[in-house]
Amino acid sequence: MADTQSSAPILEALANYTRQSSVSFGVPGHKSGQGAPPDIKQVIGEEAFDADATTQKGIDDRREKKRTIQRAEHLAAEAWGADVAYLSTNGTSLSNHAAYLSVAAPGDTVLVARNCHKSVTAGLILAGLRPIFLEPDHDEAWDIEHGIPVAELERKLAEHPEARGAFIVSPTYFGVVSNIGALAEACHRHGRPLVVDEAWGPHMAFHPDLPLHAIKAGADLSLGSIHKTMAGLQGASIMLLKSELVSAERFALAYDLFESTSPPVQVLASIDATRRQFALEGEAILGGLLARARRARAALAEIPGIRVLGKEALDGDARFALDETKVALDISGLGVTGYAAEDWLTENGQISMGLSDDVHLLACFTLGNIDAEADALVGAIRALADWAGTQKGKGRPPGMPRRRDLPTTMAMTPAEAFFGRTEAVPLERAAGRVAAEMVAPYPPGIPRLVPGQRIEAVHVAFLRLGLEAGFFPAGLRDPDMQSLRVVA
C-alpha cells in the first residue's frame, strides 16, 4: 500500500523495533540500556536506550529493503512542496555546509548575506569559497538587520557574474522575511540558484497567515530546523530542493558527505512524526499558536518602556513579511540591557527567553507553549518593567557602535585566514589586523568578525562594550575575549 501523509515510516519502524527481543553483538554498545550508567537512565529514561536503533539493522533490513528513510523523505518532499528532501540529524548548521558543496567548488565565488549564521561562514571555510557579502537592510529604529534588498542582490550579481549562487537567511532571528520570490527571480535571470537558510521557518509552509515558505516562493534550496519552530528533537533538520539549477545528484552527494553514518534514529523519527503532525493538523495547530502570540503581542505593547516589533515595521522587499510567532521586544525604554533583563527574568520569573542582546529580548512562540505560559510571560515582563525602574546605569553602554557601523572589508578568503599562520593578540591591539577566527555573539550567532576580515577600531569598540553589556562570544579560542586570533 502506498504511503500517505498519514504514514510515518521511520516512527512506525522504530515502534516495531522496540517491540522485538534479540541478543545483539553489534552496535550500540549499551545493548538497549543494559550497559548504560544507572544515573543517565534515571535522567532520560530506559525507553531512550530501547529506541536507540541503527538504521541498517534496526529500522531497516538489507534483506527486506523497506527503504524506510527514503519513504519518509519522499513524504517530506511532498509535504513541503519540494522535489527532493533529506532528513538531517546534524542540525541546519551542517545542512548549510552541504548546501555550499551542492552549488560551488573550491575557489568559486558566492554571494552571502552578511547577517547569515556562523555555520554559513564555517561552510565558506570548509568549501574554500570566496564570499562577496550582501548587505542587509538595517532598521534604524530597532538597530537590527532585516533581509536583503532585491536591488542589492541585483547589483552584486551584475558586478560578480562569476558568483555561483546567493545564500541568504529568511526569516531572520527576529522573524522578518525577505521577498523570496523577487530574490529568486533575480538569481534565476542570471542563471544562479538562491539558497535560503530557513532554520526559523519550516513551519511557515503549513498556515496561510504565515509568510510564504521559501520553496513555495521560488527558492532553489531551503534548509530548515524542525527542532526550532516545530516538534523535532534537537538537531532535527530538513534539506529541501526544488530547482533546475542545482543537480539533484550533486545535492545527494553533498548531503551524504555531512550526514552521520550513525544518525540518532530518535531524531529521524521525530522529524517523520512532526511532518505527519503538521501535514494533517498544521493549520489548526498554527492557528491556535498565532492567536496566542497575537494576544501576548497586544498585552506586551501596553507595557510602558516596551516596543513590540510588528507589521508596521515592514517596508519593501527586505522587510516583506513577518512571522508573528516571533515576538521581538525593544526594551531600551526600560534603561536596562537585554542581557540584564533576561537574567532577571530567569531568576525571578522562571522565564527563559529565545534571545537577549544590548537592547532586545525575543520570545519564540511554538506549538509547545500554552495559554498559561503566554500569560506568565506578559506578567513577568510587567514585573521586569517595575524592577527596571529601580535600576540606574544598567542600559546599553554609552558609545557602543550600532550594527550598521560595522564594516566588512575582506583582506583574504576565510579559508586562507583560518588555515594560515596565526597568533593571538590582545583585543585592544587587534585593530588593523586580519581576523583568523569568528566572533559571533550567541544567540543569534551572526558573526561580527569572520576569518579574513580586516579588524577596525569600531569592531574593537563594539566587542569591548558588548562584553561590558553582557554578550556571550561562543566558540572563541579565548572564551573571555581578552585576545583574538589573527593572521600572523
- The secondary structure element, H or E, covering residue 56 is none
Q: What are phi and psi of 186, to 5 degrees?
A: -60, -45
Q: Which of 310, 322, 295 is nearest to 378 (CA)?
A: 295
- Reduce the DSSP state of residue 78 to 3 states and report it: helix
The dihedral sign for the CA sequence 391, 392, 397, 402: positive
pTM over 0.85: yes
Q: Which residues of 225-251 are buried (b: 16+ CB within 10 A; e: fewer)?
A: bbbbbbbbbebbbbbbbbbeebeeeeb
So what's the pLDDT on residue 213? 99
| The three three-digit cell numbers of residue 453, written as one number | 576580515
C-alpha grid cell for residue 344?
A: 532577571
Query: Which of the residues in the chain have pLDDT under 50?
Result: 62-63
pLDDT of residue 59: 76
The domain made up of 68-275 has a fold known as Aspartate Aminotransferase; domain 2 (3.40.640)
CATH for 403-487, options being 3.90.100.10, 3.30.1050.10, 3.40.50.2000, 1.10.10.60: 3.90.100.10
Domain extent listing, the chain? 68-275, 278-388, 403-487
Cβ neighbours of residue 65 closer than 8 Å, sequence gap 6 or more: none
Q: What are phi and psi of 252, to 5 degrees?
A: -65, -40
For position 62, what pLDDT does the model report? 44
Q: Which pLDDT belongs to residue 148?
A: 98
**Pick from 239, 217, 201: which is nearest to 91 by CA?**
239
What's 412's DSSP letter? S
Task: Spell out the residues 6+ positions from residue 54 whose beta carbon is closer than 8 angstroms to its own.
Answer: 26, 27, 28, 262, 265
pLDDT score at 299: 99
Q: Quick one: pLDDT at residue 63?
A: 46
Instruction: Give the model's pLDDT for residue 476.
Output: 87
What DSSP line would sit under 248-271, residue for residue? HHHHHHHHHHHS-SS--HHHHHHH
The CATH code that applies to domain 278-388 is 3.90.1150.150
Q: Report how far residue 180's alpha carbon sits from residue 216's, in angstroms, rounded to the nearest whole number.
A: 9
> What does the pLDDT read at residue 345?
98
Decide if 179 contacts 147 (C-beta within 8 A).
yes
- The 3-state DSSP class for residue 422 equals strand
Looking at residue 18, its pLDDT comes to 84
